[in-house]
A and B are shown apart, each in its own frame.
Chain A
Amino acid sequence: MAGLGDSLLMQQLPSLLVAVPLSFVPLLYFLEKVGVPARGAALAGMGLCLLLSFLPWVEGTELPISASPGGWGGLLGIELLLDGRARLFLPVISAGVFVSALFGTRWSQRWPLSFYTLVFLLFTGANGLLLTNDLFNAFVFVEIAGIATHALVAFRGDGDGLESAFKYLMAAAVGGILILWGIVLVFTATGTLWIPLAAERLADAPPVFVAGAAVLLASGIALKGGLVPMHAWKADGLAGAPSAVAALLSGPILTALFGFGLRILYGLFGGFPVMEGASAVTGGVEGSFGVLGSAGEVRELLRGMVFVVAVSSIVAGHVMALAQSRMKRMLAYSSIAHMGYIVVGVGAGGEAALAAALTHAITHAFMKVGWFFVCGELRRTRGTDRIAAARGAFREAPWLGGAAILFSMSLVGIPPAAGFGSKWVLVLESANAGAWGGAVAIAAGGALALPYYLRIVVRGFEPGRPRAATPVPWDSSESPSCPEPAAELPEGAPPHDTTGALGVRAVAILVCAALILGGFAGYGLLFSEAFSVATELVGSVL
């Protein structure tokens, strides 16, 4: 592999990571015309992207790798930047998209071309969001991902799916507009959209612009990520989506959004230093810190708002998850709580707490994807994601029950699942950085979370099946809005898919389970990688 480090491939890697998934969007169509099945081509393409995403880890790679497609220099400064943060998250996104695409057999078998085209579009948006170093492209990628998302959420084509897609569309549109306004304010104040230059000029900009842009961008990202008080659409938006799509949106896409948020926070606004009075030995840069550093009060006010948002996300997410009777809604609320965990780590400031937040983002992606897969399996066999209908499901498929227990343990934070490691470190490091209120909220979160997972596990291992054959109102064969699949379904076919796709789906679930177990085993390594990324982020501010 010698010489790969400075090869043309590596120089163009940031562009390739966006261009390859994007090129598969039209390519799938033509390949199918030639006779290559869309599913095979798509999985091959995603494998290629997965491979590419691991290239920055090759020995001798010098980060950051910068690429300016089109050669626009100067003020326009269109740049894709592959830094440590992107290197850490790229494999997470690629692997998450890959297993989700693998898992989504039900809908991809029915409409393979459109499903994989949309997934590739989403993939492009996620990778681009992570890599972009200018605000113009950031907005473009936000919208690319958003468009693909709406279509994918509505993919089932039934009433639930359309309602979810509409709510998702409205919320994401508002979020996009907020982000756009924030970008407009930054541009007005600085005259550039290139993040490093904008950050430099923001230092001299009027504080009203800076604060306004910060609030708008933060609100937009919080709306997309589902933080209190902008979380209310989230469960509705995911409830009607196919399980594989819900997994995509809660795992890899949230991770990409978090990566983008970090770029904005640290690249543009200087991030949060360690709080005053914290006993932390690490981190903690005194004096002026980034753009908002000149106004210490503003920074601390922002931090206070961040903590209020984070803690109320944790509480609201877990409490609402307890109240749900449908698994997808429950998992969506649980995601809200976990976003709260991560934001506590970010708000606490300093390298260690930030590294803990990064690792939790990674472990959360896989455990949530895994749980959505379990939910998808239950939907496949039971025809609904109602918790009551899960009765007896794990008894019939103990491996599925085992996976559900593992993912639940990880989400609650019980060893030996990776989620325990990241939650433990997050509690300790946030407390260590002075955010002990957030740390206590995270610790208490586990106590609130276990009952709702345990409920499903217990129900799944109970003997017997749910009483009557469950009506399947969502099934597209009965839905007037979408007559096409009805023609495909043979007469009298079971309402749910019992074809032999289990193998692939089982593989997808087991991959997630293996990652969760492996993440616990290799937690030290993961954390030290995250720590170096966090050090780089904090260091880049000065």
Chain B
Amino acid sequence: MSVRLTAVVGTVAGSQPSGFWTHALEAPVLDWPGVFLAAVFLVYVAAAGLYLAGTQPRRTRGWWICAGVHAGGAVALPLAGDLLTFFILWELVTLGAVGVLWLEPGAPRMVRAYLPVQLVAAAALMGAIGMHVAAGGTLAITGEGLIGGAGLALLAVAIKAAVFPFHVWLVNTYPQSRPATAVWLSAFGTKVGVFALLRLLPDSGLELAGAIVAVVAVIYALSRRTLRGFLSFHIVSQVGFMIAGIAALSGAGVPGGVYHVGNHIVYKGLLFMVAAVLIERRGSENMYLLRQGESTASPKPAQRRDVLLLVAAAVGALSISGVPPFNGWVSKSLIKDAVEWPATYYLLIAGSAGTAASFTKFIWLGFVSSVVPDPLRRLSKRRSGRGRGKDSSAERAGSVEIAAGPEGSESAESAGSAGSAGSAGSAGSAVAEPAGRPGGDIARVGLVRGLAMGALSLLCLLMGLQPSWFLPPAAEEFEATVAAAVSGLWPVLLGVGFFFLLYGRCVPALERLPSGEGVARGAIAGFRRAIRAARELHNGDLRRQLGWAFAGLAAGWVLLLVFV
């Protein structure tokens, strides 16, 4: 591994100016986390490429180039052997995503949400590497991580991996791109950030922080009404799991965390694919509108075809919830076993339960009914909140139905998705007449997309049944016993029970959660104000210009005279 490639093309190693040559490239690091992640990225590139090939309208060549740069950087990054390559690939991942977003409908809004914060991450990473070198480190990537600049590196990782307070860029871009674009983007950016944590800060000690992020993000996910907003918050939550695993000190943590990264790419990709089909079919992002107007009693042909989609959705949901024998179960069990503190363990259990509740909701609203069951409300015979639940069917079923419309707290979100619903027409019209769309004609899953989803479903099952085929270090730590199955299953049952018994009650409270966008807006406004002030200072008055120059001179002189 210690073969030193030349600094940049065209230089021979012998021209090093001195013994200190910080600018050399190292050969790729081929250790198991890197190779595993690169392989999973590659497999996912194939599956998502297949999926996009079966999606209308076709993407332009420019889109594919940007998407390829994004994915290519992500595939190569886990293998980078030195920090220079690592940084360059990190930038490629960012720039590719910017290009993809730029070519989407509604681009300015997404690029504004994405680019500035990613630039801060890139700058922080560069600064961190600089401080690492300042502390005497080399550019080669070793198992030890950075020896300086940990704070800056942590900032870079937190932004790139969308760790909770820095997640705003994610939930403002993925849900607003076209549905199939989110399929492509969902896999790469955040996982690169998690992998950077492993490479740069292996001893970060963020176990508890990861678990807290997992729970908080699940709560936010439960509060979402839009399908991909919901899935995006689940990315944030699952990133919390990965961080808890990678930061856990005991042996099984890192294999568990890395395996979870791979598993998550597969099942979250699958879920985004299902979501894209559902959104195309109904023309709406709103989870409560997915089944509205359709009777479950006499399924139409289009709904019968949903069975295949239901299988894919169920596999994804079971995997992310950690039901044995799907892949999420293996990695989540490893992470839970590895964590050190009881608090972390119980938080992760809570996160699992919340995930299970979320995905019960996903299956329920996507394939069963448009209303959330609320037995408590039926017991108390009270109507739900003011202005809501006017539908008599909601009353009859004792369920809570959330009306879609501009008065909801997520009106901004649905307005954002309206511009980007893309192929399936605007969400606004779909909201107006949700039942008017003949399902099957709009969006067939199609053979190509079906193949992609089937392959990922199969992969979910295989990664759960045979972890040794994929990541031997994880398989060594893991034993598929009945006890493991039970400990994986009970949080899931808890979550399912929560959804059917209590969730309907919690919806109003959940929807009042602060979104944090005010903070971001305030920061931007403050920056604008600072720029305006600086501009007013530089007002083109020659007297002022020369006055500053003389003041600078005088200050320098006085300081020196005092000291001399």
Chain A contacts to B: CB under 8 angstroms? 166-167, 170-171, 174, 178, 207-208, 211-212, 214-216, 218-219, 222-223, 228-230, 232-233, 235-236, 278-282, 295, 297-298, 301-302, 305, 309, 316, 319-320, 322-323, 351-352, 355, 413-415, 420-421, 424-425, 427-432, 434, 436, 439-440, 443-447, 450-451, 454, 458, 520-525, 527-528, 531-532, 535
If A355-B17, A432-B133, A443-B126 touch, does A414 touch B91 (CB 8 Å cutoff)?
yes
B528-564 vs A, CB cutoff 8 Å, 1 = contact: the mask equals 0011101100101010111011111100110111011
In the assembled complex, 25 residue pairs joining A and B whose CB atoms fall closer than 8 Å, in A order, are: A167-B545, A171-B549, A212-B560, A218-B556, A228-B552, A229-B552, A236-B545, A279-B135, A281-B19, A282-B20, A319-B531, A320-B534, A320-B538, A323-B534, A351-B17, A352-B20, A424-B126, A431-B130, A434-B134, A443-B126, A446-B119, A446-B123, A454-B115, A525-B10, A532-B17
- State the CA gap A248–B194 with chains docked (Å): 46
| Nearest chain B CB to A138 CB, angstrom units | 19
Partner of A233 from the list B545, B556, B561 (CB cut-off 8 Å) is: B545
Interface residues in B492-530 by Cβ distance below 8 A to A read 530
Whether the pair B16, A528 counts as a contact (CB closer than 8 A) is: yes
- State the CA gap A454–B126 with chains docked (Å): 20
In the complex, which residues of chain B have a beta carbon less than 8 angstroms from the beta carbon of A228?
A: 552
Whether the pair A444, B549 counts as a contact (CB closer than 8 A) is: no
Q: A298-B560, A436-B134 are in contact. List 4 more A-B contacts (CB 8 A).
A: A323-B534, A434-B134, A521-B9, A531-B18
If A233-B545, A233-B546 touch, does A524 touch B538 (CB 8 Å cutoff)?
no
- State the CA gap A523–B120 with chains docked (Å): 26
| Nearest chain B CB to A190 CB, angstrom units | 17
| Nearest chain B CB to A323 CB, angstrom units | 4
Whether the pair B115, A451 counts as a contact (CB closer than 8 A) is: yes
- State the CA gap A445–B7 with chains docked (Å): 24
Interface residues in B106-143 by Cβ distance below 8 A to A read 115-116, 119-120, 122-124, 126-127, 129-131, 133-136, 139
Interface size on B, residues (CB 8 A): 62
If A295-B564, A415-B88, A451-B116 touch, does A439 touch B8 (CB 8 Å cutoff)?
no
Partner of B11 from the list A219, A301, A525 (CB cut-off 8 Å) is: A525
Whether the pair B23, A527 counts as a contact (CB closer than 8 A) is: yes
In the complex, which residues of chain A have a beta carbon less than 8 angstroms from the beta carbon of B546?
A: 170-171, 174, 233
If A233-B546, A427-B129 touch, does A208 touch B552 (CB 8 Å cutoff)?
no
In the complex, which residues of chain B have a beta carbon less than 8 angstroms from the beta carbon of A166?
A: 542
Residue of B22, B126, B135 with most partner-chain A CB within 10 A = B126
The secondary structure that dominates the A interface is helix
- State the CA gap A419–B537 with chains docked (Å): 30
Whether the pair B545, A232 counts as a contact (CB closer than 8 A) is: yes
- State the CA gap A297–B100 with chains docked (Å): 54
| Nearest chain A CB to B8 CB, angstrom units | 4
If A235-B538, A525-B10 touch, does A443 touch B130 (CB 8 Å cutoff)?
yes
Chain A: which residue is nearest B556 at the CB level? A215
If A171-B549, A428-B22 touch, does A521 touch B10 (CB 8 Å cutoff)?
yes
Whether the pair A424, B540 counts as a contact (CB closer than 8 A) is: no
| Nearest chain A CB to B132 CB, angstrom units | 8
- State the CA gap A414–B136 with chains docked (Å): 25
Nearest 10 A/B pairs, CB to CB: A524-B11, A531-B17, A431-B134, A431-B130, A524-B7, A447-B119, A232-B545, A443-B126, A443-B127, A447-B123
Chain A: which residue is nearest B535 at the CB level? A323
| Nearest chain B CB to A341 CB, angstrom units | 13
Q: Report the tally of A-B residue pairs with Cβ distances under 8 A.
A: 199
Partner of B130 from the list A211, A428, A527 (CB cut-off 8 Å) is: A428
| Nearest chain A CB to B180 CB, angstrom units | 24
| Nearest chain A CB to B2 CB, angstrom units | 19
Chain A: which residue is nearest B139 at the CB level? A428
| Nearest chain A CB to B226 CB, angstrom units | 27
Q: Is B303 interfacial (CB 8 A cutoff)? A: no
B334-359 vs A, CB cutoff 8 Å, 1 = contact: the mask equals 00000000000000000000000000
- State the CA gap A418–B66 with chains docked (Å): 22
In the complex, which residues of chain A have a beta carbon less than 8 angstroms from the beta carbon of B136?
A: 279
If A212-B557, A414-B95 touch, does A316 touch B126 (CB 8 Å cutoff)?
no
If A167-B545, A215-B553, A305-B556 touch, does A280 touch B20 (CB 8 Å cutoff)?
yes
Whether the pair A440, B10 counts as a contact (CB closer than 8 A) is: no
In the complex, which residues of chain B have a beta carbon less than 8 angstroms from the beta carbon of A432?
A: 22, 133-134
- State the CA gap A444–B127 with chains docked (Å): 7
Whether the pair B559, A305 counts as a contact (CB closer than 8 A) is: yes
